[in-house]
Amino acid sequence: MSLVYITFHNENIEDIEKPISDEENYKFPKYVSVYRKFVKSAPINQTERQGKKIITASRKFSRKTLGYAETPLEDPSKFLKKDGGIKWQRLNDHVCPPSRGLPPIPKRDAYKHENQEEKKGVNFIEKNIERIKTATTSALQRSMPIKYVDTVAGERHNLDGTGLVPKHVLSKKFGKTPAYLNNIRKALGENLCSKSRETNESSQGVRILTNTERNAILIGLRENYSELEKTYQLLPICTDTHSKKQRKGKLEQELKRIEQDILLMESNPVIMICDD
């Protein structure tokens, strides 16, 4: 058997049988609308019109149930007939207020058609022909594209875009350089001028290689290339020793370097060199 020692508790049993005060049992009163009596006392006028019961006012029934606990059965002789039940309809007694400031309704003879005023002796066929002659074409017909028929079945195609109708030749801007291209060319020329000025100012002692100097360098490079190629072709076919392999590798490197120099001189027409 184990004992439990309670060392701390906050339980107070002195006021167990003390009666509860009225303040603790106080409940707030239920909300009651101000218009409760008016709604309950409002009458429900039910009138009949063409066999229908019409409701003119609505009211809440405070003690109305969902219906009978057991539905009372009627006599078999009082069977339901077509359109014999009760029909409810709300009375529409709303009347629109009289409108103010509106013009009066025009009479029927105010808007007569043109043909009603014309005399009987007028020839309508001749009048229609004159109207067609003087009529102007609509904007839709003027904007419609010209079409052509190329098959017996009547297959139609647009004539614009085929090249058979002169379109761009008749424009005022035909054969002229567009304005945006002129602006781009002008901007590029100004950019090149500014770059050349910057290079001339920044690179002192640097000059452009002339064509005679460039041709002389190219001739010398090609002569060196032809001489190295001859020596390379005179090498023995069998390169079995280390010295033969080393000599062949050096010649191949020299030929490759001269080829790159020739390609560089031929591909770049403007070459900058230092006077040092």
The predicted-structure confidence for 104-156, as pLDDT tens digits, reads as follows 887 777 666 555 545 556 688 888 888 888 887 766 555 677 888 888 888 88
Are 91 and 56 spatial neighbours (Cβ–Cβ below 8 Å)?
Answer: yes
24 vs 97: CA distance, rounded Å = 59
- For residue 58, the model assigns a pLDDT of 53
Which phi and psi (to 5°) does residue 172 adopt? Answer: -70, -25
- What is the per-residue pLDDT for 157? 87
pLDDT of residue 183: 92
Determine what percent of the chain is predicted with pLDDT higher than 70: 68
Which of 223, 227, 224, 209 has its CA nearest to residue 265?
Answer: 209
Between CA 83 and CA 88 the distance in angstroms is 12
Q: Is the pLDDT reported for residue 13 higher than 90?
A: no
| pLDDT tens profile 223-270 | 999 998 998 888 888 888 888 888 888 899 999 999 999 888 888 877
Q: Residues, the chain, total?
A: 276
Higher-confidence residue of 272 and 178: namely 178
pTM of the model: 0.29
CA dist., res. 74 & res. 82, Å (int): 17
